[in-house]
Each structure stands twice: as C-alpha cells, then as structure tokens.
Amino acid sequence: MLPKADSYDALRDRFAWVVPDRYNIGVDVCDKWADRDPERLALIHKRRDGAVENYSFADLRRLSNRLANALAAQGVVRGDRIGILLPQAPETAITHIAAYKMGCIAVPLFSLFGVEALEYRLGNCGAKVVVTDAVGAAKIAQIRDRLPELALVLRIDGAAEGEEDWHRLVDAAAADFTPVDTAADDPAVIIYTSGTTGQPKGALHAHRVLLGHLPGVEISHDLFPQAGDRIWTPADWAWIGGLLDVLLPALHHGVTVVSHRFEKFDGEEAFRLIADFGVRNAFLPPTALKMMRAVKDPQARWSYSMRSVASGGETLGAELLDWGRQTFGVTINEFYGQTECNMIVSSCAAVMEPKPGIMGRPVPGHDVAVIDESGQRLGPGQLGLIAVHRPDPVMFLQYWNNPQATAAKFVGEGGDWLVTGDQGELDADGYIRFVGRDDDVITSAGYRIGPGEIEDCLIGHPAVRMAAVVGVPDPLRTEIVKAFIVLQDGVRPSDELAAEIQAHVKTRLAAHEYPRAVEFVDSLPMTTTGKIIRRELRSRG
C-alpha cells in the first residue's frame, strides 16, 4: 500500500488510502492468492513434535471453504461470534479465514486464559461457536452451563462428549463456498483489551482493519514486502500483534508465515527457528529480544540472514538497538499502537534516522498528534495526550455492547480524537516520544494487563478481603504484576498463602496475569470516593 519513495516525507506526501466499499478479509488473504498463484506457499508450521507441515494458498482456500460449509450446516450464520481458543496452528488461521468468509465475527482468545477469563469474554460477546483443542475444551467444559448462547465446541485434536471433531467435519464438507459479500465497514473481529477498572472491553473491528494495518506493517519492516521475505513472530495470534501485525498482513501480501508454538519462549530455540526456516522478517516483542540477547554467540552457532526486525509494546534503548545491529545486521524498528487503533506510529531505518528512546513518526495515512484535554494540538516539547483523528481505517468501530466506554474514548470538538490513554510529546522533527501512561494498564513482557480483572479474581479467594494490583519495574519484563492484599480477619500472612493466591490467579485468568509479587498490607490507600490510589502503591515498589 505504501508508494515507492526514499524518504519519510515522500512516503507521507504520496500516500493515499485504497479502501474499497466491498471488502472481505478472508477473500483478500486467501482466495485472492489461490486464484492468482494456488501453489504459492502460505504457511509453514512446525509442530510440537518437530514435524513440519506446509500449506499453500490453495490448501487454505479448500480447508477454509470446507470449514465454512461445515459450520453453516451446524446453523452458524452471518454475524455469529466464533471464539478461537488456539495457539499458533494451521487450524487457527483456517478458522479465522472461514469466519471472515462467512461474514461471522472472529473472537481470538489466548490459549493460556483460565476459566474465569474465558467465561467473561465468551459470555460478553455471546459466542455461538468455540474452536479449541483438548486443553481449551477442558476449560470450556467447566463453564459451558453458564454460556447459554454457546451451541458448538469444535476440537482440532479429537472430540469428547458434547464436542465435535474439527477435522472430521472439515473432511466431510464440500470444498466450494461462496464468500459473503461484506462491506469494508462490516464487523469482522472482536479483540478483548484490558482496561484500568472493571472487566475487559471487546474492541470490535471492521474488515477494513487489515487494510488499515498495512502501512504500519510495511514501514516497520523497512518497506515490506521485498523479494524473499518470510515472516515469523512468537506473539500469539490471539493478540492483535500476532494476528494483525504479522499473520493477516503477510497473507495479504502473499508472504509465507512461519508458525510454531513455544511451550515457553526460549532464546536459543528462537534463533534456531529463524535459521532452520529461513526467516527474513520478525516481530519480536521487547521481552523476547531481551531473552534472545542472553544467548551467547548466535551468529557463530546459526546461519541466518534477517532483512527486518520490528518491535513494539515499549521503547527500546540505545543498548538494545546496538545489540540488534550487531546480531541481526539491521536496525530494529519500533512501532506503537493499541488494540483499538494499532500500528499508527513507527520508525523505519530505510527512510528515517532512528532515535533511541523515541517511538518514531506517524505512519503515513494516520493523523497522530499530541493534544490537550480539549482536543487542541500541542507543539514540540509540550506534554499531552497521544491521539488519533478519525476517520481512520485501522480504528475500531466500538466497544462491544459498551457505548459509554466507546464515547469516553473520544475527545475534542465533534469527538473526533481517539485518545490512546498514553502521554507523549513531539520533537522538532515530528517524532513522538512516549512519556508514560495516562491510566493504570500494566505492560509486562509485551502484554497490556488491566488490574481490574485481576483484582476481581483475587477477592474471589476466601482469604482475601481487599486487593489492589499495580505494575512495578522489572529489568526483563518492563513491569511485573504486584498485588497488595488485605486479608480476612483471622487469616495470617505467609509465603505459602502468597503462593496459593498466585496459583489462584494463574489458573483462573492467565499465566501472564498472575501477581509475581505479593505484599500483605493492613489497608489500601483510597480516595474519598472509594477509589484505590494506585500511584501511591506504585511508589512503594
């Protein structure tokens, strides 16, 4: 989508959005290439046992068509929500494509979510179908009686009572399917994002969201795609960073995606994967980079040739950027965005001078500014709110069933500025420096974590009377989750109790959300209106 240019200013000035009135993600990322070049390699998947599976675009069309027909035979219709509770796997990509071609709404779900996290999200969106594996199905079985709209559970690794076998249904279905004729503004995907209070909010995106991502993906990967490009990320496809920063944009461009699920991310295995599969482009969250940095002599141990590395979620310092140049032979490009409006700021070593500690410039096509609370643009050096002006193809439609939160996301005359909740400032060259969050979201290992859901889970433990959660600095993860807990009368604090409370959260929400630090306190700092003063807790460390 980006024009040919050799400078940032030229890219910005020559750029124009191309968003057709009628557009469908599934057709774009699959059927388009299956018509043009059916045997083109779309996906290379390394299974847990080491076996490798290759999928062409023709394979993806055939399998997604069969799945669409199978789902339709089960009563799934346009507009139904399809939960996808899977790690990186071919079935994950195929289910997304089928959902879009059916005009349904995909709801990606992190495979490490616990039962409470899943119950809220599936209940909130009213999912009719969940596609999962044995691990996910065991969680769904615990809450299925509390999900009245859930009619069908498909498993990709066999099926138990009350479930259907994904592969059996797909194999038995017809391979011809006519995709639904969707508008670019029709809903396509709900991605749940964490907030500072209450439960997570479902950011509803239209089919155009993929087109809106393209300039940011292209610029953050030094004018992607180029001949020979092949992309991989350890980021789960349940998150916007894995799904819309890597998987779907790459398939849009006909670029092969490498997929593999690490049981636990390992720096050495990451280098080995890059070398073994000829990965040329990677989105590596800062925590992954820090873990890979701990690997000794990677260039001497593996043969690889990277063309681009992009990273987002937190600002990289000069030291990590220098390591990246020495290790990968490229400058790591930083990008910025959020679930509601992603890939809106980026650096790009191919066309602009990198500035350590600064995110980059607005991606061509996006009107990003630093504003005050009334929506007025601020000049260089003035601290304010990082905001995006609408209309913008990458911007969400609304929060699912939450008009109040949707309205609160916009400020200014006419309500046309989407505020990200982050503070920043412009420099004289138009670069944007991230200064800090305007809210209490915790950034840990590249994940954005809202304290509200964790606090709700904590007070569900019988020993906990009150709880507050904040992020505290951590050299590896940027921040870790720390819980301040007031115990019930008569309960004594202990290391054993702290471990029990940690396990309570880990098994019910997700492994990345549990409090790695627990401090028992007699009381919590409160405002006169009863709100927790989290900044005071953060100051305690």
How does pLDDT run across 214-268, given as a tens digit for each residue?
999 999 999 999 999 999 999 999 999 999 999 999 999 999 999 999 988 899 9
The pLDDT of residue 428 is: 94
Residue 59 is encoded by which pair of tokens?
């394979």
Q: What percent of the chain has pLDDT over 90?
A: 82
Q: Is residue 96 part of a domain?
A: yes
Q: Is residue 98 part of a domain?
A: yes
Last residue within a domain, chosen from 207, 222, 241: 207
Averaged pLDDT, 71-91: 98
Name the pLDDT band for 448 (thresholds 50, 70, 90): confident
What CATH number does the domain containing 131 carry?
A: 3.40.50.980
Residue 246 is encoded by which pair of tokens?
């890597």
What CATH number does the domain containing 447 carry?
A: 3.30.300.30
Q: Is residue 405 part of a domain?
A: no
The pLDDT of residue 197 is: 57
With 50 as the cut, is the pLDDT of residue 49 above it?
yes
Q: Is residue 300 part of a domain?
A: no
Residue with tokens 């939960």: 83
Cα 31 to Cα 26: distance, rounded to the nearest angstrom: 7
With 50 as the cut, is the pLDDT of residue 387 above it?
yes
Cα 178 to Cα 68: distance, rounded to the nearest angstrom: 9
Q: Is residue 151 part of a domain?
A: yes
Q: Is residue 46 part of a domain?
A: no
Last residue within a domain, chosen from 207, 229, 256: 207
Query: What's the domain range around 459?
Result: 442-540
Name the pLDDT band for 438 (thresholds 50, 70, 90): low
Q: Is the peptide bond between 225 and the residue preceding it cis, with omega within 30 degrees of 0?
A: yes
The pLDDT of residue 198 is: 67
Q: Is residue 449 part of a domain?
A: yes
Q: Which residue has the higher pLDDT, 244 or 315?
A: 244
The closest alpha carbon to 352, from 16, 4, 2, 6, belongs to 6
Last residue within a domain, chosen from 207, 225, 242: 207
Q: Which residue has the higher pLDDT, 511 or 36?
A: 36
Cα 106 to Cα 113: distance, rounded to the nearest angstrom: 17
Chain segment 15-29, per-residue pLDDT in tens: 999 999 999 999 999
Cα 428 to Cα 426: distance, rounded to the nearest angstrom: 7
With 60 as the cut, is the pLDDT of residue 328 above it?
yes
Q: Note if the pTM is more than 0.85.
A: yes
Mean pLDDT of the chain: 94
Chain segment 514-536, per-residue pLDDT in tens: 999 999 999 988 754 455 788 88
